[in-house]
Amino acid sequence: MPWLAASAAIGQVVPERLYYGVGKRLVVEVRLPEGVGDGELEVRLHDAGTGVVVGSSAAVEGRADLAGLLPEIWRERSERTRLVQLYADERAVGAPLVLQALVTPNTASLVDPATMEPSMDPRAAVVFEDDRLPALAARGVVESAERAVTYSGVRAYVEQEAVLETTLGEMVFRMRPDAAPNTVFNFMHLVSGGFYSDVIVHRVVALLSNGNPFVIQFGDLSGTGMGGPGYAVDLERSTLGHAFGVLSMARGVDPNSNGSQVFVCLSRAGTAALDGRYTSFAEAVSGADVIRAIASAEVVEGGDRPVDPPVVVRAYLRDAPALADRVAALWEVEASIEAEASAENAER
């Protein structure tokens, strides 16, 4: 697959294959960065969500069993996504290696909030099994309040970021496999296959009725707003809050009807209510002006379809930067600016 390719020029840990069963050898190639010479190499296992180092080992150039170097991988069998970063003379180099745990999914369904039984009533709520089972167990409907989870191994690939070239400029999104790993992988699959080529932005909701900026939406090859990739992906519980520049999956009434349509959030105020109901999986790190330019597109009177739709000309994946070289997400920048403005107003 294209996302398994890696640049040897900057040094990386590259997996021999995409999937590894639990307890098996996890064969990778450690690629020496140019100009390092006899410098010391080290691999560190980071928690993808917090960045905390949970394991480390000296390394040498060439093939290696990563599970042997970092026994924590199989010993702990963590459900959390981990990142393996190569260090040369204490400097992080190259894109990290993503280790996504292959575990029984926490599925979602539409239920009656009072009974937690499946329901298609308009008032039905989206509830994940981790929340539904305890409620059912308390009523004696099921024996266990805990979801049975099987740990099968890991999916291993070099971390990527997505570049979207539009008729109004370029947007770059950092993937968040720690927040929604399966959704990230589905999006990467579509990008690498050329799905987002000459796709219009078919929906623009610049402002809600309360005045809060909402979303811009694309990812339908038919351009009708009703199309998709020909399959559906389950809703995934994400730890990434919806905010400016966050990329999330659009869907129908069925929570497990995600596919290829995605939306970019225009504000935290306008999209916070989507948390837990839609799967956010990436965050823009550049292209704020492009997002706003698309959001300013004229729409048909009384609707949300652009009169002259902006176009995603193409999308492609490229190696993500080393952990030490990451920049703030646009939503973090926005939050910082808002906090500074609030502080200044408070001082007046």
Residue 5 pLDDT > 90, yes or no?
no
Give a yes or no: residue 345 inside a domain.
Answer: no
Give a yes or no: residue 332 inside a domain.
Answer: yes
Q: Are residues 131 and 186 in the same domain?
A: no
Give a yes or no: residue 154 inside a domain.
Answer: no
Q: Are residues 198 and 71 in the same domain?
A: no
37-66 pLDDT tens trace: 667 899 999 999 999 999 999 999 999 999
Percent of the chain exceeding pLDDT 70 equals 96
Give a yes or no: residue 93 inside a domain.
Answer: yes
Q: Are residues 61 and 112 in the same domain?
A: no
Q: Are residues 214 and 326 in the same domain?
A: yes
Q: Are residues 47 and 128 in the same domain?
A: no
Residue 345 pLDDT > 80, yes or no?
no
Q: Which domain holds residue 276?
A: 159-340
Q: Are residues 200 and 270 in the same domain?
A: yes
Task: Decide if 247 contacts 161 (C-beta within 8 A).
Answer: no
Q: Are residues 225 and 79 in the same domain?
A: no
CATH assignment of the domain containing 333: 2.40.100.10
168-210 pLDDT tens trace: 999 999 999 999 999 999 999 999 999 999 999 999 999 999 9
72-105 pLDDT tens trace: 999 999 999 999 999 999 999 999 999 999 999 9
Q: What is the pLDDT of residue 36?
A: 65
Average model confidence (pLDDT) across the chain: 94
CATH assignment of the domain containing 21: 2.60.40.10
304-343 pLDDT tens trace: 999 999 999 999 999 999 999 999 999 999 998 888 877 7
- Please tell me the pTM assigned to this model: 0.94
Give a yes or no: residue 89 inside a domain.
Answer: yes
Question: pLDDT category, 140, cuts 50, 70, 90?
Answer: very high
Residue 3 pLDDT > 50, yes or no?
no
Residue finishing a domain among 101, 119, 135: 101
286-304 pLDDT tens trace: 999 999 999 999 999 999 9
Number of domains in the chain: 3
